[in-house]
Amino acid sequence: MTAAAEVSAPVGGAGAAVGGPSEGMALRLEEVGRSASNRRFVVTLSDQGRVEAVLYRGDTLCVSTQVGCAVGCPFCASGAGGLTRPLTTDELRAQVTAVEALGVALRRVTASGVGEPLHAPDAVLAFLGWCRDRGTPASFTTSGGPLPRLVEFLRAPHNGATVSVHAGLPATRARLVPHAPALDPLFAVLADELPQLSRKRRKKVALAYLLLDGQNDSTEELDAFAARALPLGVAVHLYQHNAVAHSSLRGASRDAYERAYEHLRAAGLLVRMSSQARLEANGGCGTLVAASGRAAKRTLPQAG
């Protein structure tokens, strides 16, 4: 662990108080990993629950929305221990102000860390509004459910919505994103809702597909995904997986990843590959961890 920075941020206040841990503090930030593009922080909450946040490329902060997650994706470390509790709006804001207290000039924020934002709807919607009011563009990543909340979030003041799909066939979706909407109702809602958004807002919506070796990388699966995604006219983020210790699932090889990219492009989709920052340690999809207060010391990895 490289405790390069430790900052406390009171919740409810406008800013972050720099300094060590103190009584009454609602959130403590500790830097535990650093790679070429990214800095990774453990965020300790007032009840000693822990989540993580990542600063990408020096100006984009990925915050966590829940301690754990109930969706149960088998490739993801964040939900490995189930859900403990959602974060409050103050705890979401405090992640931002605590990182800013380190002297970081944030250009963007994304609610894409530990947790499912749609399972903490009031706090996350208030957080998105707060970000808008202070002029910090904010996006979120969701597995899509509950579907009425997906509609609400798509219409909310955000600067980007990424819907994690990871499958083209219903059985694969049920296996990889188990406690989230099935493909048919998910795409039905997207097909209804996206045309109602302005062209500018529609361009801020994307689908995510995390390519996993032997799980969702077959031609049949990719073709089925492309058939669903094409009519929506939105971009696809094709993510390469960073392995996590607790899961036996592995990312596809680089060759298979590039083949899948070409395959989806040939099908007519606008596909974006994982950025360098996402490929680095401290940056991959599903690698952030959470721990309840009682289990924190036992389960947090030594990142970095």
Return the active site residues: 52, 285
Please pick, from the candidates 7, 51, 69, 101, the single residue that binds ligand SF4 as defined by CB under 6 A: 69
**Spatial contact of 290 and 64, defined as CB atoms under 8 Å apart:** yes
139 binds ligand SF4 (CB under 6 A): no
Q: Least separation, in Å, of the C-beta of 275 and ligand SF4?
A: 18
Contacts of 182 (CB under 8 A, 6+ apart): 170, 173, 174
Q: Least separation, in Å, of the C-beta of 173 and ligand SF4?
A: 12
242 binds ligand SF4 (CB under 6 A): no
92 binds ligand SF4 (CB under 6 A): no
| C-alpha R_g of the chain | 18
208 binds ligand SF4 (CB under 6 A): no
33 binds ligand SF4 (CB under 6 A): no
Contacts of 64 (CB under 8 A, 6+ apart): 43, 51, 52, 53, 78, 87, 95, 113, 114, 115, 288, 290
Q: Which two tokens stand for residue 255?
A: 């060759």
110 binds ligand SF4 (CB under 6 A): no
Q: Which stretch binds ligand SF4 (CB under 6 A): 53-61, 75-83, 85-93, 242-250?
A: 75-83
79 binds ligand SF4 (CB under 6 A): yes
Q: Which two tokens stand for residue 269?
A: 């989709």
150: closest CA among 184, 180, 123, 107? 180
115 binds ligand SF4 (CB under 6 A): yes
The Cα 170–Cα 164 span in angstroms is 14
Binding site for ligand SF4 (CB under 6 A): 69, 71-73, 76, 78-79, 114-116, 143, 286
